[in-house]
Structures are given as C-alpha cells and as structure tokens.
Amino acid sequence: MRISELSRTTGVPVATVKYYVREGLVPRGDVTSRTQASYGPQHAARVRLVRALSESAGLSLAAVREVLAVLDEPRSRHDLLGAAQHALLLDESGAGAPDADAQDPASPGVEDEATRRARRLAADRGWYEDPLLVHRLAGQLRAAAAADVPVADEHLAVLASAAEEAAAGDVASVPGEPSEALRQVVLGTLLTDPVLLTMRRFAQQRASAAGDGADAAPRAV
Amino acid sequence: MRISELSRTTGVPVATVKYYVREGLVPRGDVTSRTQASYGPQHAARVRLVRALSESAGLSLAAVREVLAVLDEPRSRHDLLGAAQHALLLDESGAGAPDADAQDPASPGVEDEATRRARRLAADRGWYEDPLLVHRLAGQLRAAAAADVPVADEHLAVLASAAEEAAAGDVASVPGEPSEALRQVVLGTLLTDPVLLTMRRFAQQRASAAGDGADAAPRAV
C-alpha cells in the first residue's frame, strides 16, 4: 500500500508516519519509484505500536527506540524482562527524582534512609535488589517525604502486596513462544501501567464511599 | 528567611523558587524592602510540595495549580477525592488517548467495545461508573489493543484486584482530620503511583524468575 493508505489504516497522519520512518522507528517501504514506496501489514503494525508507546504509554521517542531495540533482539523470557526494564528505566514517566542524592548528606558514603528502606523492602519480599529499581524507589520515597507526605510502612506494605498481585498476573499472561512473550511483557506492562492507575482511582472512590457510609458517586466538582 | 535561605532549605534553585512565586504556586513573602521579601516555614513546605508534584509525580504546572486549588479548599473526605481526581484527570501522565473516539466508527452513537468493557468491569466490581474514569480506561484498553497487545480478561481481572488492594490501603492510610486527609489522599496517590509501578517491576522480576526456575537476578543487558 502507499503511505496515504498506511496512514488511513493506522489512523496516524502521513506527516507523523514520515517522521517515524525518518527517525528509523518504522522501516522504510520498498521503493517503487523515485517518489513512492510501498508498505505492507508489518509497517502498519509497527506504526500502531510506535503510536501506542509514545502516546498512551507516554514514552519519549528515545525510549520508544530502546524498547523497539529490545523487541527486535529475542532472548529468554527472564533476560528479556531485565533488558526491557533497564531500557525503560532510563526514561519512563514517574521515574522519581533521578538526580536526588542517594547518600546521606550528613555522612557521605553512607546510604540514606530511603535507600536503606527500599533495600529492606526488597529483601523482605524476596525481590532481587536491582540497583536501578532500588535507586528509583528510594527517589520516589524521598520525594514523598520531602513533600511532607511520607509513605507509612503499612501503606507501603499494602502497595507492595498489590504490586505482587499485579506482577503475578503479568507473568501469567505471558504466552509460551519467546517472541510473543517479549512483546507481551514489555508492551503489556507499559500499556497497562496507566490501566492499573486508573483502576486504583475507581477502587479508591468505592473504598472511600464505603468508609464514609456515603453513596459511591462523589459529588460533582 | 530570605529567598536564598529558602532555596538552601528546600534544595530548590533560587530561579525556580522565583518562578513558582511568579506563577502563583507559592505565595509571595512579606515585603521587607523594595528588593527583599521574607519567607517562613509555610513557604518552604509549599516549595517542596510543588517540586514533588512537578518532578516526582510528573504533573504539568497547570495540573499542579489544580491540585493546590483543591488542597486550599477543604471538603469532606469523599468529596475531596472526587474533586482531586477530576482535577488530576485533566492532565495526569498515562492518561491514555484522550482524543480517541469512544464511539464505534461503524455505528455512530453506539459505544465502542472498549467503553462497554470498561463500564462492565466497573459494574461487576461495584465501582461508580465515573464518566471520566470510564473514558480514560476505555482509551487505555483501546490503545493496547491497537498496538496488538490486547489486555486479556484474566489479566485485567488480576490488575483490577491489585488496584482494589492498593485502594483499600490508600483509604486506610488517610488520617481522621479533614485537612490532613485531603493532603494524604491527593498527594499520597500522586506520589505513590510511581512507587506502585516500580514495585510492580521488582515483583515481575521475582515472579518471572520463579517461573523460569532461574536465579532471581536478571542478566545484565
């Protein structure tokens, strides 16, 4: 198909498709004349994927490129997960304060309380103490505490259990074939992060209404 | 204290503090001379809050302004939650495809499958069918399906249960006094969204390693 049809099929404007191709995120079509190229269904799938990652999952184009690089190089399920997570940690939204100092300013060389807490949580839960994840979680705990809304231990424990429940579902949803597994883990996680957070808000309204003894519908703002 | 000390106390550069004041996010200090103003601890708290919301929670300044407006006007716990959620839905990261058409293109006026699915889920779970949340969730499900990574019913059910578990902890963590409750619900949710997603990745590594019978540590990329 021509680029105009590729645009129609995917619902992505021609200019955006051209931009994706120019940036190397979507492979070039087969050249059919000096000014035209022909695209196939694999191009349409790729355009849809790039769009979903950049718009719904909110990744930068640099992060989209990292994700595609991981997707294009198959590995075992577990390796894939690590590779994908590390590619994503470089950019993902909500990454916490990446520039925050993880050292106790009063005692250089000593880990600060947030980092110790993140490590302790990982150890208690049997999670691998992935340095990037520890750094990230510590930054997020530190940011909450700095805003004077520290995350209490009981609250953190409930969120950790919820995260484990979600992760068990994530891994169970991964199909057997490695290439499909990769897609599912990487894209499934990215694209369902916002789903999980939206449902958290639905469920908060329910839980809050139950606590108030009120009707479930919040009054209009 | 002077603005230089306010900057030192909060770790936020003087230029950024001035910007927050100019944008009305932080109140002006008491004018002490033609070129100086004096700031108190309440200014420091507000600067830290604006910083956490914009950097860790990733909100735009417009959304930070909405959140502060909700915080500055006390209401009942349940009303607050609704008000805060609606203020945030306008902007929050991971909002899905807000411009996506919720109508079935083949049959205008008929809800599309993603919207029906979001409504069905809310009804099944006893959640209030908040129109903004339904719209948002439907957009996220549609984006995943468009990227050829549809969220299976079983996967969605597990994520919904995890969201309910997180929400129960969120509401339980809210203290009794209304003004503190407000802070806690609004800021606690915003600032722990990234915490929940980071722990999801920790737990995925664990669950994936268990499934592979491998060591918990993913190999380095």
Sequence-separated (6 or more) residues with CB below 8 Å from residue B105 = B112
Q: Which residues contact B116 (CB under 8 A, 6 or more apart)?
A: none
Q: Regarding predicted confidence, which is higher, A38 or A177? A: A38
pLDDT at A221: 31
Kindly give the interhelix angle for B77-89 and B131-146, rounded to the nearest 10 degrees: 40
Q: What is the pLDDT of residue B150?
A: 87
Is A160 at the interface with chain B, CB within 8 A?
yes
CB–CB contact A79 B211 (8 Å): no
Question: Hey, is B37 helix, strand or coil?
Answer: strand
**Residue A85, beta-bridge partner list:** none
**Residue A190: which pLDDT band, with cuts at 50, 70 and 90?**
confident
- Residue A26 contacts residue A50 (beta carbons within 8 Å): yes
The chain-wide mean pLDDT, for chain A, equals 78
What span, in angstroms and rounded, lies between the C-alpha atoms of A156 and A137? Answer: 11
Give the minimum alpha-carbon distance from B64 to chain A in angstroms, rounded to a whole number.
Answer: 13
pLDDT of A78 higher than 60: no
Q: Does B124 contact A at CB distance below 8 Å?
A: no
Alpha carbon dihedral B122, B124, B125, B129, in 10-degree steps, equals 20
CA distance A221 to chain B (A): 5
pLDDT of residue A93: 40
Cβ-based contacts of B56 with chain A (< 8 Å): 94, 96-97, 139-140, 143-144, 147
User: What number of other Cβ atoms are within 10 A of residue B2's Cβ?
Assistant: 14
For the stretch A173-185, pLDDT in tens is 776 665 566 667 6
* pLDDT for the residue B14: 94
Residue B134: burial class (beta carbons within 10 Å; 0-12, 13-18, 19+) = buried
pLDDT of residue A95: 39
**Residues B9-15: contacts with CB within 8 Å, 24+ apart?**
B9/B44, B10/B44, B10/B47, B10/B48, B10/B51, B11/A146, B12/B47, B12/B48, B12/B51
Predicted complex: ipTM over 0.85: no
A219 against A31, higher pLDDT: A31
Q: pLDDT at position A219, please?
A: 39
Q: Which residues of B touch A121 (CB under 8 A)?
A: 199
**pLDDT tens, per residue, chain B with 221 residues:** 999 999 999 989 999 999 999 999 999 999 888 888 999 999 998 998 898 888 877 777 887 887 787 777 655 555 666 666 666 665 544 433 334 444 545 555 567 899 999 999 999 999 988 888 898 899 889 888 888 888 989 999 999 999 999 988 887 877 666 556 666 767 777 788 888 888 888 888 777 766 554 444 543 33
> What average pLDDT score do residues A36-46 get?
91
Closest CA to B204 of A184, A119, A70: A184
3-state secondary structure of B54: helix
User: What is residue B132's predicted lDDT score, i.e. its pLDDT?
Assistant: 82
pLDDT at residue number A94: 40
A115-to-A4, A137, A142, B60, B148 alpha-carbon distances in Å: 52, 8, 9, 27, 38
* Under 8 Å between Cβ of A113 and A88: no
pLDDT of A92 reads: 47
In the structure, what pLDDT confidence band is assigned to residue A125 with cuts at 50, 70 and 90?
Answer: very high
- pLDDT recorded at residue B215: 45
Contact A144 B55 (CB under 8 A): no
Instruction: Report the chain A residue with the minimal C-alpha distance to residue B155.
Output: A169
CA gap B54, B27 in Å, rounded: 17
- The predicted pLDDT at position B96 comes to 39
Shortest distance between the Cα of A27 and any Cα of chain B, in A, equals 17
Pairing of strands B37-38, A37-38: unpaired
Give residue A171's pLDDT: 78
Rounded to the nearest angstrom, the minimum Cα separation between B1 and chain A is 19
pLDDT band at residue A148 under the 50/70/90 scheme: confident
Query: A138, A146 in Cβ contact below 8 A?
Result: no
Distance CA B170, CA A154 (A): 10
Whole-model pTM: value is: 0.72
* Interval A156-167 mean pLDDT: 93
Helix ranges, chain A (H): 3-10, 14-22, 41-51, 61-71, 77-89, 113-125, 131-146, 153-172, 178-212
> Contact, A26 vs A47, CB < 8 A?
yes
